[in-house]
Amino acid sequence: MHGRELRGLSRTQLVVAAVLVLALAVAAAYLIIHHKPKAPTSAPATTSVNELIAYSSPNFVMYPVNANTIIINNYGENITLRIPTGKIVAMNTVALQVLIDIGAGNHVVGVEGYATKLPWLFGNYSNLPALSSGMWSINYEEIVNLKPDIVITWSYILPQVRQKLQAFNIPAIAWGSTDNLTSLIYFLGLITNRTDRAIRLINWMNRLEQELKTYQSQVNQHPRTYIIFDWEYSPWYTAGSSSNPYWAAVLAGLQPCFNKSMQVQPESVLQCNPDVIVVTTWYLNPHSLNATAYCRSIISSVRNNPVLNQTAAVREGRIVVIPGYLTQGPLRYITALYIDSVLWPNVVRVNATKLLNQYFSEFLSTAEPGGTWFCSG
């Protein structure tokens, strides 16, 4: 009895340890049994095959089956879709925007919460049922209620969505921030029988991209920039390569001071001495009465900031305020052009607001033209 103080595992403890190990083994076995399916060997027949191949990219690999069926291999699953598809739940705001752009908005029956906050972009679509919102759980019952033919969501919640909807035979695909926008556009055009409009959008984007490249090679400068991720949060939180504003700046040919989204020390900003300060705001309603005033107030706040006003950007009056929602999807190109037009007005003779209105009338028909979308000073 006294020796029990010193001895090793008692029987109960051994049993418990065995149970744990067993549970782990069972979990591993479960995992092994369920592996992902492989991609099918393609069965090409039609001429549009070349188009499909041209616009495919990882996670958006498209295969034709026949005149009204395609297969897409998206994030590890092969999904067969009928063309044209019926109802679409667009829990991904970029997908929603693209659908409206190509005139297929009538397919959309549900959106995500973020879209409901942007009525000036999405019009009546912001009144559709919001099925997920930021950190809140997804309402699967509502999705099932809507009986969609396909659900489009973000990559980070795709696994759960697929799992839950599997029982209802509702397929789900995702488009994430590392995926190819062109593939998404073409895919959405394909399933809504609007490939012509999709290609038009793609060409428009490519044209803008060309313009940007041309201007930038003419100017041949790569000014350093400090990108503020959310002015309403803090002037010292920068937008890194995991965020949309960063890529808008890069598209504009700028060289960001910081590559990570993080809190920075004011001295580091001074050390970088940016030539341009890009401020992202998420709360700008372009049609509100004080939109312009608000936008300009941001600029003066930056000018009055004791640290920032020692940078070359403020001294030379190169502060650009852009709304966050204009940095994702096709709109990113317009934003990039705007930035370039502010920096090099003699070379980049582009009126960004006019371009935006053009885009609205031709593509994003739900958006209201006019108003103040950005400003600079």
Give the contacts of 341 (CB within 8 A, at least 6 positions apart): 348, 349, 350, 351, 352
Q: Which is nearer to other proteins, 149 or 211 (CB)?
A: 149
Distance of closest approach, residue 349 Cβ to other proteins, in angstroms: 35
Q: Which is nearer to other proteins, 234 or 288 (CB)?
A: 234
Binding site for other proteins (CB under 8 A): 1-6, 10, 12-13, 16-17, 19-20, 23-24, 26-28, 30-31, 34, 36, 58-59, 75-76, 113, 129-131, 133, 135-142, 144-145, 154-160, 163-164, 167-168, 174, 176-179, 240-243, 260-262
Distance of closest approach, residue 371 Cβ to other proteins, in angstroms: 28
Q: Report the distance separating Cα 112 and Cα 110, nearest Å.
A: 7
Q: Which is nearer to other proteins, 233 or 354 (CB)?
A: 233
Distance of closest approach, residue 47 Cβ to other proteins, in angstroms: 28
Cis peptide before 37 (omega within 30 of 0): no
Q: Which is nearer to other proteins, 141 or 362 (CB)?
A: 141
Q: Which is nearer to other proteins, 135 or 289 (CB)?
A: 135
Q: Report the distance separating Cα 107 and Cα 177, nearest Å.
A: 23
Torsion of CA 364, 70, 149, 152, to 10 degrees: -50
Q: Are 256 and 227 in contact (CB under 8 A)?
A: yes
Distance of closest approach, residue 90 Cβ to other proteins, in angstroms: 15
Q: Are 326 and 360 in contact (CB under 8 A)?
A: no
Look up residue 319 and give its two tokens.
């502060």
Residue 226 has what DSSP assignment?
Answer: E
Q: Are 89 and 110 in contact (CB under 8 A)?
A: yes
Distance of closest approach, residue 3 Cβ to other proteins, in angstroms: 7
Distance of closest approach, residue 289 Cβ to other proteins, in angstroms: 30
Q: Which is nearer to other proteins, 13 or 300 (CB)?
A: 13
Q: Which is nearer to other proteins, 268 or 365 (CB)?
A: 268
Give the contacts of 269 (CB within 8 A, at least 6 positions apart): 226, 236, 257, 307, 308, 311
Q: How many CB atoms lie within 10 A of CB 49?
A: 15
Q: Report the distance separating Cα 224 and Cα 272, nearest Å.
A: 8
Distance of closest approach, residue 345 Cβ to other proteins, in angstroms: 33
